[in-house]
Every structure is written in structure tokens, then in C-alpha cells.
Structure 1
Amino acid sequence: MYKIKTYNTISVKGLNRFDRAKYEVASDINNPDGYVLRSHKLHDEVLPESVKAVARAGAGTNNVPVAEYTKKGVVVFNAPGANANAVKELVLAGMLLGSRGIIPGMNWANSLTDMTDAAEMSKLMEKQKSQFAGSELIGKTLGVVGLGAIGSLVAETALALGMNVVGYDPALSVEAAWRLPSQVMRAENLQALLSRCDYVTLHVPAIEATQHLINEESLKSVKAGAVLLNFAREAIVDAEAVVKSLDAKQLRMYICDFPEPSLLGRDDVYAMPHIGASTAEAEENCAIMVADQLMDYLENGNIKNSVNFPQVAMERAAQGSARITFCNDNVSGVLGHVLSVLADHDVNVIDMVNKSRGDIAYNIIDVEQPPSDAVVSAIESVEHVIAVRVI
């Protein structure tokens, strides 16, 4: 029986994917085979040797020490796109809040508690409403930085609203490019995008290359009066630089999902309490996706949506056969040595697949009969092999 340890509150619909005849699932469990978590930070925790995979029910994995786990052969899964619609809708709400005087208008209206005459109030509304009028989104230009699952949905929605859309993503995948509406214009670099857009929304991961992507230098290129939206990650934006730009009236507004002390109490900042991916539907979608991925890995060795291992899948061979999986440093000769071990022990290979990603390689080998402990030990002793499993 596989053991799954959970952190945070995981959607019941996700947890119910685990067949209780094969899985024990609990928040307090010894020697787990896998973790399922949301925002819980694992950096300071000792990882049990039994853990084979970690499933993050969300897109970002900055709460997981991915590099450290990779060296131990632990696969880290995430749920790209599962919360994309929730974030897209909040970005749209942010743009609407930034285009019209919705919040200040409501605050002003709710402050009129000393008025008792409805007719008098109606006259006052007509007299004062122009200061909250704002402008429409149609015809404005939206810049989308990062064109993955969320960015492409935001771009599509903006086009449907009659906006012009400019995109920038130096790491755009072929799959993402196919998903992107053809009307999206391409910016050569970040500065070019910032200089021409009335609204700019960020949808890139929090990695070393994107740390303070929006900073004092890049904000020098921003179009005067632009609205910046950040529903990606706090680390992407230098909040102090944003404050300086707002004070200089270069940026008109900053709308984000990451409150910081320097941003609070300002009329030109709308900071939400990190609710972008917190809808019930998004949490269910994320939990279901990572549960399915974790089960497929534990039961079959297949890998989908991992942030540190290559995507690998192979149909199981005939009944009665066994599956060996192993990961290794991505250097030449390792697979050959493992195949030699199998040949030396008269283990017949039925099918196999080998994939690599960066410094790591992963292999699935189906064999006619379960390998002996001696065979497994011999594979483990091959230089550069990190972890071996028999399924």
C-alpha cells in the first residue's frame, strides 16, 4: 500500500481520487511515498528517504526545494493551468477596477450616512459622479508578460473585450505558441512592451531570472499613466521601485495579489490578499490533477507536469512483466551500463524509454519477470545512478 502525506487543506475531490484499497492518505503519516501540498514550505524540513514524489496543488513550486530534491531523485509535480481561469478572472477584475473609479466611488457613496433625503442624494450623485467615471478598456493596449496557460487566457479575454494585446515571453514553448491567439502582437523585449501599453499584466514564474523583473530601471520605459498588474509572484516586482514610479506619476496604478507594507494606505494601489488561485473550482482542479499525476508515477513510473524531471510515459507491457525505473545524472554511458547489468543476469527487456532534462535523465524499462534483489543492487551500484524503483 502506498502512503500519501498531505499538508494544508487539500480538496476532498482530489483526495478522493486515491483508491483507499491501495493508498493510505493522512496529514500525519510515517514513511510516506509521496507528499501532496499547497503552500506549505518544505525548505526547512527533513525529507524521509521513503518519499519518491512531491505534488504541489498549484502552479508555483517556490515552497519546495526543487534542486535539492532533484539530487535525491524525487520528482516534483505541479498543476499548470488548473487554476488559470481563476487567475484570469481576477486579472480582468483588476483591469476593470483600474479603469473606472469603482472602489473610490463606492467608498464615497457609503460615506454619505448623514444624508436622509433620497432625492437630495440623487442630485449629489449626479453632480459628483464625473470624478469616478474613468475610461473603458476597449481600444486600450494590454501588455502580457509571460504567455503560458494564464497569460494566453488573459490575452484571449482582452481581445474579446476589444483591447489590443502585446505579448512578451522569451521562453515561449511551441505548445504555448499554438494556444496563443494570432491577433496577439509580439514585443521584442520587455522595454518595448512597457513603452506602448496602457495596462501591463505579469504571468511569469518566480525564478532567478525573473527576480525583480519589474524594477527601477525597467519602469523608466513604462508608458505614462499605465496600470501594472501582478497576479503572478511577489518577487517579480520591486515594490519600492513601483512606489517611486507611482509617486512620480509615471505609473498610474499598481494592482496586485501581494500586499507589502510600503504599498498599504495608498489610493493608487489595490492589493488583494493572495486570492488569485483560491476559488473552490481552482483548488479542486489542482488537487485532482496532481493526485492523478502522483498515482500514475507511483503505480506506473510515468511522469507528467514535473518541474524537475522530463515528461515520460510508456504503456505497461504484458501481464506478468515488471517495470524498472531509474534516474541518473545526465551523462553518457549510464543506460548502457544498466542494460549490461540486465543482460549479465539474463533479464530480458521487452520495452524501454529514456528521456533527459537538464542534468537529470529518467528511464523506464519493462522486463519479462521481476528482477532479483541482486539485479536491483547491481543497478543501484552503477556510477551516476541516483534512484531505482521496481513497480
Structure 2
Amino acid sequence: MAPRVLVSDQLSPTAVQIFKDRGVEVDYLPDLGKDKDALLAVIDQYDGLAIRSATKVTEKLIAAATKLKVVGRAGIGVDNVDIPAASRKGIIVMNTPFGNSITTAEHAIALMFAVARQLPAADISTQAGKWEKNRFMGVEITGKVLGIIGCGNIGAIVASRGVGLKMKVIAFDPFLSADRAAQLGIEKVELETLFKRADFITLHTPMTEKTKGIIDAKAIAQMKDGVRIINCARGGLVVEKDLAEAIKSGKVAGAGVDVFETEPAKDSPLFGLDNVVCTPHLGASTEEAQENVALQVAEQMSDYLISGAVQNALNMPSISAEEAPLLTPFVKLAEILGSFVGQVTEDPIKAVEIVYDGAPGAMNTRALTSAALAGLLKPLMQSVNMVSAPLMAKERGIIVSEVRRDKSGVFDGYIKLTVTTEKFSRSVAGTSFSDGKPRFIQIKDINMEAEVGRHMLYTTNHDEPGVIGELGTMCSKNNINIANFHLGRNTKGGDAIAMLYLDEPLEEAVMAEIRSLKKIGQAKLLSFDV
């Protein structure tokens, strides 16, 4: 029996035809997504659900979807899909993360021009019968410094457009390598340097805990007087009230804003200010982009339903049914090793080497490497997954290499991941025992055996008495229970590390206390999906 797909939002007729041409039965009911009760009543008839933003794929809908295998979102945002509920039900969630990249980049450039020449206000004034040439004195783009925060897919397109406009382009991105920057014809800088030098600043970074509020009053104070700021990424990247105050004071000369802290934006501190150009999240709103993402989601869903191929899945690794029992524990291990390095490394990563020793070397190492890269990139790019991680790493100029070798140690097999930055190399190794649980077995070439927990405290120190006591006392004082405490050192009196498996995370104030301890070097609170 042919698989059956429901299209519950507006989608291109060409996309609907793709399903039919590939042998998939399709019901095109573009208004059904707006009626949650009607959708709930029929969802159990379908193997696939193709949506845009109007359809809400809730836990209740997923529970009723007894046949559903895949949800395809035409576009990048999946806020309207309960991904954890879908994962628990075994439903793949796909999106089309690259279909609107050019459109979003062009919108950022359009806003930059609009702010530089005050075009919207000048248009309103002129159509009102005024002729205020002196009021709307603009600035040239040519020769100005364009600062890009986040130089991934969209940021790189903006960079190329900026270079073409004869701007001096600088970029901050923790994963941007010097080689990739040179290839783009731009200069890689630290964030503080970008703030000090840029005439225009445009944001193209995901929203994470590290990037939320990345432009606030403190950041603006570091910027040039008269800077202009563009945001087509995510509203929460910019603290709107801080930007509004800076525009009122004249510190910021103008802003182009397509995304807001709360959407739909009915009110904002930015509304009504001179030389603030606001648009209603139009970054992906072009005919070409809407067509591209619709065609892509139809192709991806058809591929999966007909042949089992998976592209741009947000919640599933590319592992065949035959491989799964043996591979899955090592996929989780690879992701955890990558996550460890991603959480403790703040410098841009130039290269990643992954050694598969013994049993893992005979497995599907492509899946393992994808899992490791997903873990590595996820601290800064929460939407990254096993499918998209290799491309994300390539776009950032990260050189990835694999080494397979026969069993060489006491373990039947292990994985060792080494990252290289411009300043240092750092390695971590782990294995999976018969219980399927991952273990750290070496960190920074120091042997240890540590069970992996959801919340872990990682510290480095000089090997000397008192470290265990101080860490234990600090946790006890703050009512934090230690499930396991693991230690390792290279030599007596040399470098040492500790991994504490905690029942709950430490507050930042407690972490600050730990970092202030004289015996402690580095201290990081880590989180793992176990």
C-alpha cells in the first residue's frame, strides 16, 4: 500500500505533484491546519504530515497519530512541533534549513540600505507633500566596516554581499576558522573587537543561552558612536529596551529589525523611534524561498517514506535498522564526547580528529562522526543534528578526519576525539560497556573512568591534598548531592582533573565560588543528554 501524506498548510502545487510523482498518495487540505479538532479527527489516517507554521503539532495530535512516521516542516522553524513528543513516538521531524538562506541574507542587506539612507521615513515624508532633503542625510555603505555576528550559512552569504559592496567585512563566530575567513575574503575577530570597529552590525546566529541578549547595554557601550544594527535572526538576541535607549541617546544611529522578543509584535520600545525600520519577520518571505522549501520538504518526505533515506531530520540519526542495536550505544558515546569538548572549548576549532579503536572502527563511522560533530556544535547551535552537523562544520572550515585501527588497549573498543584550535589541542576518549552506558576513560591524556551523568562538574587542578575536600564541602554547603566523584592525574604532584556527577546543576553563584578556589584551575558545569 502506498504511503499517504496530508498537507495541512498552504504548499506549492508543484510540491504536491512531487508527492504524486514519487508514488505517495497526498491529500491537499491547506486550511485543515487551522482547525485543530478537525485535524485531530483525521490524523490517524496518514503516514506523513507536511506543514508550514499554521499547523500546531502538539502532544495531543501526536498521540492520536497512530500511523504517522514523519512530519515535514517547509521552513526552518519548528516551534510549532512538539519534537520531544514526536521522538518518543518514533516520528521523524524534518525541516528545510537552507531553503531560505539567500532570502534572509538579502533582507538583511535591504534593511542595511534602508537604515543607511532613511528610506521609509523619506518615503512617508515625500508622499505627504514635503521635500525634506536636508532632514534625510544618509551615509554611504562603501568603505564602511560591516560586522557579522554568526558566519554560518546565512552569515557567509551576507559577507559575500558585503564584500561585493566594497565594505570591509569582519566576523565573529566561535566556529569560523582562519582558512574559511580567508576564503570568504573577510577578517575573523573577537566579539569585543567587532563591537569597537563596526559601522554596521548584523546578526546571523542561533538563539542559545550563550547568544541570548548578546547585544545589550554593555555591548552597545563598546560600540562606535553612530553604529547601525540589523537583526534578521532571532528577537531575543537584542535587548530591545537597551537598543531603544541607545537610539534615543544618539549612540546608535539607526536599526533595522525583522524579529522581536515577542511575536507577533504588537508593541515594542523600538516602535516610533526615528530611523528604526521594522518589518514583520519577513526574512523568508519571498516567492522563491517559499517555493524552494516546499519542494525540498516534499522531496525529503518522499525519500523517507519510499526508500527510508533521511535528510535534515531534527530527531533521528541516519542509522539503518540492521545497524541500530550495535551502533546506537556508540552513537550516544560519540555525541557525548563531542558535547564535552564543545562545552569546554571557547576558541574557534580548526580541526577535529576522531580515532575509532577496535569495535567502533568496524561500524558505520560516518554516523558516529556525524554524532560527534552534532555534540560538538550543539552548545552554540541548538538545532544542529547528525544530518546537518557535517555541513555546518564544513561551512566553518573545520577539517574533520577519521582514523580506524585495530584494538590497541584494554577495552574492546573506544572512541577518542581530539580538537585543534589556534592555541591548543584537547582530547577526550570514551567507551561503551555491555550495559550500553557511556564512560569517559581519558581526558587531556589523563586516564580515568567516569560514568556520564546529566549534570557534571569538570575541574582541573594541580595534584595536591585538599581538592576533594574543597569541592565536596562546596557541594554540601549548597545542598548538592554528589552521585559519583572521579579523579585522574598524569603524575604525582602533576596535572589532575576531577569529574563530579551531580544530582542537580549548580547555580552560577556557586560556580563562581568554585572558580575562586585557589586550588582550582578551570571549572565547567557540563550538561549531557543521557
TM-score norm. by structure 1 comes to 0.73
Higher normalized contact order (CA 8 Å, seq sep 6+, divided by chain length): 1
In 1, are the aligned partners of 2:226 and 2:251 still within 8 Å (CA)?
yes
User: Which digits, 9 at most, give the CA deviation of each residue in 1:287-324, with x for residues without a partner?
Assistant: 11121111112222222222333456x9xxxxxxxx76
Bigger mean CA deviation after superposition, 17-26 or 74-83: 17-26
Q: 1:109 aligns with which of 115, 126, 133?
A: 126
2:315 aligned with 1:308: yes
Change (3 A) 1:268 1:77: same
Distance in 2, matches of 1:298 and 1:130, equals 62
Aligned residue for 1:331?
329
Distance in 1, matches of 2:3 and 2:182, equals 40
Bigger mean CA deviation after superposition, 23-32 or 140-149: 23-32
Q: 1:91 aligns with which of 82, 94, 108?
A: 108
Change (3 A) 1:158 1:91: same
Change (3 A) 1:90 1:248: same
In 2, are the aligned partners of 1:301 and 1:325 still within 8 Å (CA)?
no
Aligned residue for 1:366?
none
User: Which digits, 9 at most, give the CA deviation of each residue in 1:21-66, with x for residues without a partner?
Assistant: 4322334543222222222343464312422222221123233233
Letter matched to residue 148 of structure 1: G
Bigger mean CA deviation after superposition, 18-27 or 92-101: 18-27
In 2, are the aligned partners of 1:141 and 1:165 still within 8 Å (CA)?
yes
Structure 2 unaligned spans of 5+ = 30-38, 333-361, 376-384, 388-434, 437-530
Distance in 1, matches of 2:52 and 2:218, equals 34
SS in 1 for 2:151: coil
Shift, 1:172, TM fit? 4.5
Shift, 1:286, TM fit? 0.5
Change (3 A) 1:333 1:267: closer
1:344-355 alignment runs, 5 A limit:
353=364, 355=367
User: Which digits, 9 at most, give the CA deviation of each residue in 1:154-193, with x for residues without a partner?
Assistant: 110110010011112224599xx759843111022x3322
Bigger mean CA deviation after superposition, 192-201 or 252-261: 252-261
Structure 1 unaligned spans of 5+ = 114-124, 315-322, 335-350, 363-382, 385-391
Letter matched to residue 47 of structure 2: D
Aligned residue for 2:471?
none
Shift, 1:3, TM fit? 2.0
2:137 aligned with 1:133: yes
Shift, 1:325, TM fit? 7.8
Distance in 2, matches of 1:220 and 1:299, equals 55
Change (3 A) 1:352 1:164: same
Change (3 A) 1:251 1:167: same
Aligned residue for 2:224?
223
In 2, are the aligned partners of 1:73 and 1:327 still within 8 Å (CA)?
no
Distance in 2, matches of 1:11 and 1:173, equals 39
Change (3 A) 1:131 1:39: same
SS in 1 for 2:61: coil
In 2, are the aligned partners of 1:329 and 1:361 still within 8 Å (CA)?
no
Aligned residue for 1:345?
none
Change (3 A) 1:169 1:72: farther
Q: 2:97 aligns with which of 74, 80, 89?
A: 80
Letter matched to residue 130 of structure 1: N
SS in 1 for 2:293: helix
SS in 2 for 1:138: coil
Shift, 1:108, TM fit? 1.9
Bigger mean CA deviation after superposition, 271-280 or 76-85: 76-85
Aligned residue for 1:380?
none
Change (3 A) 1:15 1:238: farther
Aligned-residue CA RMSD in angstroms? 3.4
Shift, 1:98, TM fit? 1.0
1:77-226 alignment runs, 5 A limit:
77-112=94-129, 125=131, 128-172=132-176, 181-188=183-190, 190-226=191-227
Distance in 2, matches of 1:302 and 1:235, equals 35
Change (3 A) 1:104 1:30: closer
In 1, are the aligned partners of 2:4 and 2:48 still within 8 Å (CA)?
yes
Distance in 2, matches of 1:63 and 1:311, equals 24
In 2, are the aligned partners of 1:167 and 1:193 still within 8 Å (CA)?
yes
Letter matched to residue 282 of structure 2: I
In 2, are the aligned partners of 1:138 and 1:163 still within 8 Å (CA)?
yes
In 1, are the aligned partners of 2:181 and 2:188 still within 8 Å (CA)?
no
Change (3 A) 1:133 1:216: closer
Shift, 1:102, TM fit? 2.0
Distance in 2, matches of 1:324 and 1:219, equals 54
Distance in 2, matches of 1:160 and 1:241, equals 32
Shift, 1:133, TM fit? 3.0
In 1, are the aligned partners of 2:73 and 2:95 still within 8 Å (CA)?
yes
Aligned residue for 1:284?
291
User: Which digits, 9 at most, give the CA deviation of each residue in 1:366-389, with x for residues without a partner?
Assistant: xxxxxxxxxxxxxxxxx98xxxxx
In 1, are the aligned partners of 2:254 and 2:275 still within 8 Å (CA)?
yes
In 2, are the aligned partners of 1:201 and 1:228 still within 8 Å (CA)?
yes
Shift, 1:258, TM fit? 2.8
Distance in 1, matches of 2:84 and 2:204, equals 22
Q: 1:271 aligns with which of 266, 275, 278?
A: 278
Shift, 1:241, TM fit? 2.1
TM-score norm. by structure 2 comes to 0.55
Aligned residue for 2:80?
63
Letter matched to residue 162 of structure 1: K
Change (3 A) 1:164 1:361: closer
SS in 1 for 2:113: helix
Distance in 2, matches of 1:361 and 1:46, equals 26
Letter matched to residue 302 of structure 1: A
User: What count of residue pairs does the alignment treat as equivalent?
Assistant: 325
Shift, 1:282, TM fit? 0.4
In 1, are the aligned partners of 2:24 and 2:302 still within 8 Å (CA)?
no
Identity between Structure 1 and Structure 2 (%): 28
SS in 2 for 1:166: strand
Aligned residue for 1:371?
none
Shift, 1:81, TM fit? 2.1
2:40 aligned with 1:42: no
